[in-house]
Amino acid sequence: MRFDLAQPWMLVLLPLALLPLLRKRSDTLGFSYVAWLPADRIGRLVGFLWRAFAVGAMAFTVLGLAGPGQSGAVVERAGRGAEVLILMDRSSSMDATVHTNGLQTAGRMSQEPKAKVVRDLLSEFVAKRPDNRFAFMTFSTVPIAVVPFTQKTDTVQAALAATAVGRGLPETRMGVALLAAIEEFEGRSYSGSRVILIVSDGGAQLDEPTRQRIHAGLAREKIGLYWIYVRSGPNSPNLNTETVSAYGLGEELALHQFFKTLGTPYRLYQVDDSTAMAAAMAEIDRQQNFPLTIHERVPRRDHGAAFYLAAMLCCAGLLACRAVQLQSWRKENP
């Protein structure tokens, strides 16, 4: 926490506070021979206080106008949760609808796009975890960092709602998106569990340099990985049962196999409908509930009111000195 001034240029007026210290005063009373006057210790004290109150009133007023305060304060408190970066797929395939009762009833589709179902469930997930620090990114052709890490859940909710605008692009570049997500954790102090939550209906074939960078980044930053894989239909790969075919690995299965080789924790949640998505989000909510050190930046504290109060007290002291001051040598008749 540091002390600063909102308007430091006001301090140029501070020398005006020295004016009451000038020896010449307009309210002095003339006397023919000062040595005949009796010693007046109380009067001298009042005169000293008068100057002190006058200097204080002007100085405190100028300091108050300068806007003194404290900014940059960070309060540490304990909570439960994690640092969660939500990496949401915004490719055009996410605009397709999802099944109402799973793949067993193929053909029965709901009227809600996958993106809307995911958006609603993520919104509930964020609302249930007020102590978490969230970041939000979307990706298709390129990753877009929408919200940096914050504890303001209303900001994350607004970002989730904004994904309803427009339609996605056809390409899904998972490798570039993962590297961008890892970079969001770099330079941050480690204060609890860290998670990248991927929500996507597709995968990617990653080249070896990209794999190495992802592997090293996740290990270095101690980040866990959760992938909510949203199956688009009966023809979508089943990552829990599918094996390598004669044509090699599909993009989704290749990505899943790579994630399993990572040294950091990895969980796959393969979902077929909105009910399975909700169950996956609930399980993640239960798992990522560890002690978390929260550093909260508080707003700037303005101390100008204290200086104005001090100036008012000095003005009250001036009025008191004025009340006991002798206005004339002649005593007024009642």
Q: What is the pLDDT of residues 217-268, one digit of tens each?
A: 999 988 989 888 887 666 667 777 655 443 445 778 888 888 888 888 888 8
268 and 248 assigned to the same domain: yes
Query: In this model, does residue 103 exceed pLDDT 60?
Result: no
Residues 135 and 218 in one domain: yes
Indicate if 110 and 240 belong to the same structural domain: yes
Residue 111's domain is classified under what CATH number? 3.40.50.410
Distance CA 178, CA 156 (A): 19
Mean pLDDT of 149-178: 83
- Residue 164 per-residue DSSP state: T
For residue range 176-204, what is the model confidence (pLDDT) as tens digits? 999 999 999 988 877 778 889 998 887 77
Q: Is residue 328 part of a domain?
A: no
Residues 304 and 262 placed together within one structural domain of the fold: no
**Is 334 domain-assigned?**
no
- What pLDDT score was predicted for residue 101? 47
**252: in domain:** yes
For residue 116, tell me if it sits in a domain.
yes
pLDDT at 330: 59
Are the beta carbons of 277 and 118 closer than 8 angstroms? Answer: yes
Residue 102 pLDDT exceeds 50: no
Asked whether residue 196 falls in the same domain as residue 219, the answer is yes
- Residues contacting residue 20 through CB under 8 Å, at least 6 positions apart: 50, 51, 54, 55, 58
Is the domain of 310 the same as that of 256?
A: no
| Number of domains the chain contains | 2
Examine the domain organization and report whether 157 and 266 are in the same domain: yes
According to the model, what pLDDT value does residue 85 have? Answer: 92
Length in residues, the chain: 334
Instruction: Specify if 108 maps to a domain.
Output: yes
- Where do the DSSP E strands lie in the chain? 2-5, 68-71, 74-81, 83-89, 97-99, 109-113, 133-139, 143-150, 194-200, 224-230, 266-271, 290-297, 301-302
Tens of pLDDT along 34-85? 566 666 677 678 778 888 999 999 999 999 999 998 876 776 666 667 788 9
288 & 176 share domain: yes
Which residues contact residue 8 at a Cβ distance below 8 angstroms, ignoring those fewer than 6 apart? 66
**Which domain does 306 fall in, by range?**
2-72+300-323
Residue 5 has pLDDT above 80, yes or no: yes
d(CA 101, CA 60): 72
Residue 291 has pLDDT above 90, yes or no: no
| 332 lies in some domain | no
Question: What pLDDT does residue 132 have?
Answer: 80
Same domain, 204 and 242: yes
Q: Say whether both 64 and 111 belong to one domain.
A: no
Domain assignment of residue 331, yes or no: no
Average pLDDT over residues 295-299: 72
Same domain for 60 and 87, yes or no, is no
Shared domain for 162 and 186, answered yes or no, is: yes
**Is residue 32 one of the residues assigned to a domain?**
yes
